[in-house]
């Protein structure tokens, strides 16, 4: 596959132009572009610019409202709900984050549920903004069924991400953005096209039996694999608990699939959940800053089992990728490059 490398500024501009041509509102375009640039810069390519053609399609076909009117309903000193009016998930989730940060600044904590939303890309894009505001952040969503339950024979949960982030003094945030499966579904497609075997314990065949054959794999296995996948499956349930059950939104098996369906015109009714906590209402901002500094210093100084691969904190790899890509450009797959006119 010939990747094409594009400078970050040019990619940002290309995303803005492509989204703008759909008639989406300026704030919708800005939010989707921002979230895709987060993912593309940090190396989360599955959720970056690759999805722009999909977002343009669903904006044009009625699934996603290009000009939504979001509404915020405050339900207490620290809680709120955002109605996304079926707009782009990025817009809805960034709005939820704004509200959560405002609530946390005011009351010490902000917990915000979002409804009537759509695919929001990488969960880390939202947790990160909370950390950049000096707060501890959590963001999650659920999605359509592609991951087996532990011992299950059919896809049940989505890859349901959990993202946490925390401020680190003058440095980049501690940032965890993980699917609750071991790998994403498009990794299976990549192994298929490469003709190579999957890692052990990450996918199953149509009967729910673990398989390393990419061609035979029809669903993912939860984190922990055949031995300990009850933990990954339960963590997928945590995403469903916060994003769907707490907000009153769609359950994983009830979603219209993101892709591979003829229905691109019915809104998917997706829920999200974000949380922001102010260290000043707990052990205090100074103790937090000193603690996380000491923690990360100890972690990074910890000896590695393999001398060639240093021990990393969550986010270390991603921020390094960002620095490299800001300097050298962002690799794009040929289809996306052509879609954006970079062919």
Of 190, 246, 320, 321, which lies in the binding site for a second copy, with binding defined by CB under 8 A? 246
* Span 33-62, contacts to a second copy by CB under 8 A: none
In the block, which residue shows the tokens 């492509």?
A: 18
Residue placing its CB nearer to a second copy in the complex, 5 or 207: 207
Contact flag: residue 311 with a second copy (CB under 8 A)? yes
d(CA 276, CA 176): 15
DSSP string, 61-79: HSSS-SS---EEEE-SSSE
Closest CA to 207 of 158, 260, 155, 253: 155
Of 292, 330, 332, 337, which lies in the binding site for a second copy, with binding defined by CB under 8 A? 292
Of 133, 148, 185, 217, which lies in the binding site for a second copy, with binding defined by CB under 8 A? 148
DSSP bridge partners of 220: 147, 203
Contact flag: residue 171 with a second copy (CB under 8 A)? no
Contact flag: residue 3 with a second copy (CB under 8 A)? no
Closest CA to 223 of 275, 270, 162: 162
Contact flag: residue 164 with a second copy (CB under 8 A)? yes
Q: How far is the CB of 279 from a second copy (least distance, A)?
A: 6
d(CA 268, CA 150): 26
Contact 94, 126 (CB under 8 A): yes
Contact flag: residue 191 with a second copy (CB under 8 A)? no
Residue placing its CB nearer to a second copy in the complex, 67 or 196: 196
- Helix or strand holding residue 16 (H, E): helix 8-20
Of 314, 325, 339, 340, which lies in the binding site for a second copy, with binding defined by CB under 8 A? 314
Residue placing its CB nearer to a second copy in the complex, 28 or 180: 180
Contact flag: residue 25 with a second copy (CB under 8 A)? no
Contact 37, 15 (CB under 8 A): yes
Angle at 47 between CA 256 and CA 162, to 5 degrees: 80
Of 22, 28, 249, 336, which lies in the binding site for a second copy, with binding defined by CB under 8 A? 249
* Span 260-289, contacts to a second copy by CB under 8 A: 271, 277, 279, 281-284, 287-288
Of 35, 58, 223, 330, which lies in the binding site for a second copy, with binding defined by CB under 8 A? 223
Contact flag: residue 225 with a second copy (CB under 8 A)? yes
Of 1, 170, 262, 309, which lies in the binding site for a second copy, with binding defined by CB under 8 A? 309
Token digits for 164? 């946490």
- The gap from C-alpha 65 to its chain's centroid, in whole angstroms, comes to 21
* Span 72-131, contacts to a second copy by CB under 8 A: 75-79, 81, 107-109, 111, 113, 115
Q: How far is the CB of 261 from a second copy (least distance, A)?
A: 19
Contact flag: residue 64 with a second copy (CB under 8 A)? no
Closest CA to 184 of 199, 195, 173: 199
- Helix or strand holding residue 31 (H, E): helix 26-42
For the chain, what is the radius of gyration of the CA atoms? 20
């Amino acid at each position: 596959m010939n990747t094409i490398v594009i400078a970050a500024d040019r990619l940002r501009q290309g995303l803005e132009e492509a989204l703008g041509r759909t008639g989406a509102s300026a704030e919708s375009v800005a939010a989707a572009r921002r979230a895709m640039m987060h993912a593309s810069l940090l190396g989360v390519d599955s959720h970056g610019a690759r999805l722009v053609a999909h977002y343009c399609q669903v904006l044009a076909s009625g699934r996603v409202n290009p000009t939504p009117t979001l509404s915020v309903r405050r339900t207490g000193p620290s809680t709120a709900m955002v109605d996304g009016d079926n707009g782009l998930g990025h817009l809805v989730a960034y709005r939820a984050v704004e509200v959560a940060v405002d609530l946390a600044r005011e009351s010490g904590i902000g917990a915000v549920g979002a409804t009537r939303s759509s695919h929001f890309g990488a969960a880390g894009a939202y947790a990160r903004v909370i950390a950049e505001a000096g707060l501890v952040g959590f963001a999650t969503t659920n999605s359509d069924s592609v991951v087996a339950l532990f011992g299950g024979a059919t896809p049940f949960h989505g890859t349901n991400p959990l993202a946490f982030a925390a401020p680190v003094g003058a440095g980049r945030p501690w940032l965890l953005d993980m699917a609750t499966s071991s790998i994403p579904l498009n990794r299976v497609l990549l192994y298929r096209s490469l003709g190579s075997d999957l890692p052990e314990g990450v996918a199953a065949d149509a009967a729910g039996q673990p398989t390393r054959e990419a061609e035979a794999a029809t669903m993912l296995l939860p984190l922990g694999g055949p031995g300990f996948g009850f933990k990954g499956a339960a963590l997928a349930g945590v995403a469903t608990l916060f994003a769907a059950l707490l907000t009153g939104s769609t359950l994983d098996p009830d979603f219209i699939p993101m892709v591979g369906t003829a229905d691109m015109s019915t809104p998917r009714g997706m829920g999200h959940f974000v949380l922001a906590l102010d260290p000043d209402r707990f052990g205090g901002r100074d103790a937090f800053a000193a603690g996380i500094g000491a923690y990360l210093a100890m972690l990074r100084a910890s000896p590695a089992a393999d001398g060639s691969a240093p021990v990393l904190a969550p986010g270390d790899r991603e921020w390094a990728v960002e620095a490299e890509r800001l300097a050298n450009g962002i690799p794009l797959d040929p289809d996306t490059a052509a879609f954006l006119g970079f062919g």
